[in-house]
Amino acid sequence: MSSLSLRHDWSRDEIQQLLELPLVDLLWQSQQVHRQANPGYQVQLASLLSVKTGGCEEDCAYCPQSMHHSSDVSAHPQLEVAPVLERARAAKAAGAHRFCMGWAWREIRDGAPFEAMLSMVRGVRELGLEACVTAGMLTDQQASRLAEAGLTAYNHNLDTSPEHYDQIITTRTYQERLETLARVRRSGITLCCGGIIGMGEGTDDRAGLLQVLANLNPHPESVPINALVAVEGTPLEELTSVDPLELVRMVATARILMPHSRVRLSAGREQMNREAQVLCLLAGADSIFYGDQLLTTGNPDVATDRELLAAAGVTALGKIPASASMNCVPAH
Ligand code: SAM
Ligand code: DTB
Ligand code: SF4
């Protein structure tokens, strides 16, 4: 571990000042932190699968899976354990190091679907992959059963600042999100928590989100930074894509604030050119989603991402075979 000091007392002004630095100065700072914290500069490849798609009771304005919106995504039954593990095996064969599974749920309910989730977690761990689940709120007992099953990380995003939050979601409060995060932390599972930019927020909101994240003690081990994918039929469909350099700034600032966290360059890469993505890697991103599907929207294919990493001159944590493809069984 490096000698980087870890702070949990950042003020919003300090963070906003970082976000607004001249880009070259911000990058200079973030790269120094990044290289000290991650000397070998390896990028983690994480593959994502939507296990339960659509029909969600929450009204998150960005999300095509909400039953409150009129996007094309319809509700599907949860996938069975075997095809999920087949996808995990394919992801591993293509070089993934982590396998993330999503459920379009407000909260985890007990019963057969939860038992299947536990089997999926065990199966993914038996393959030697890290396992991450994102499935909404959970109880202490569910968190400890997931921990027992070997779950590496639970993803639950704060999405935006406390102030901007009620423009985006009305069916679940910021406080409830924080309580879910605390429950995951108590269970011993690592935390994956980040947000989305490009939802009409100001720089002060971006600073506000980063402030809440950076002042969690310990920091979330994993911090996904998403750019909004504006999906037709959602209330945010008309929003124009965020300037990729804004994503570079978010990544760089997250890296400075949370030196040892894995900062994930998440949704929105299809809207970015290769050079902007390389800038995000330079700024301190050390993970990408790997495979041509996120949950319901697209992501660059594995060949394109192999070229991206080669062009940037960074290596992946897992071993990528020379001709990696993700020979996936169709999810639905
Ligand atoms: N239902 C669970 C929940 O909300 O925690 C898990 C799935 S949810 C789709 C996971 C995360 O994906 C959300 O918290 C949000 O940050 C991100 N996300 C969803 N739709 C997005 C979009 N259109 N653009 C960018 N990020 C998105
Ligand atoms: C996260 O922060 N981003 C990922 C993962 N965690 C689950 C999901 C992105 C979803 C993008 C929209 C979609 O594909 O539905
Ligand atoms: Fe449901 Fe998660 Fe989508 Fe919100 S982000 S509508 S909780 S699936």
Do 305 and 32 contact (CB within 8 A), yes or no?
no
Is 193 an annotated catalytic residue?
A: no
* Residue-wise pLDDT tens digits, 99-147: 999 999 999 999 999 999 999 999 999 999 999 999 999 999 999 999 9
* Residue-wise pLDDT tens digits, 38-96: 888 899 999 999 999 999 999 999 999 999 998 888 889 999 999 999 999 999 999 99
Q: Which ligand is nearest to the CA of 158?
A: 1
pLDDT value at residue 273: 96
CATH code linked to domain 12-316: 3.20.20.70
Query: Could you tell me the pTM of the whole model?
Result: 0.96
The SS3 of residue 198 is: coil
Mean pLDDT (the chain) is 94
Name the band, by pLDDT with cuts 50, 70 and 90, for residue 329: very low
What does the block give as tokens for 190? 């690592």
* Domain extent listing, the chain: 12-316
* Residue-wise pLDDT tens digits, 194-243: 999 999 999 999 999 999 999 999 999 999 999 999 999 999 999 999 99
Do 253 and 225 contact (CB within 8 A), yes or no?
no
Catalytic residue among 145, 255, 262, 264: 264
| Ligand 1 proximity of 66 Cβ (cutoff 6 Å) | no
23 burial class (0-12, 13-18, 19+ CB within 10 angstroms)? middle
Do 290 and 302 contact (CB within 8 A), yes or no?
yes
pLDDT value at residue 263: 98
Is 264 an annotated catalytic residue?
A: yes
Span from the CA of 267 to the centroid of ligand 2 (angstroms) = 6
Residue of the CA atom closest to atom 10 of ligand 1: 134
Q: Which of 62, 132, 261, 295 to mutate to test the pocket of ligand 2 (most atoms within 8 A of CB)?
A: 295
What does the block give as tokens for 82? 């075997």
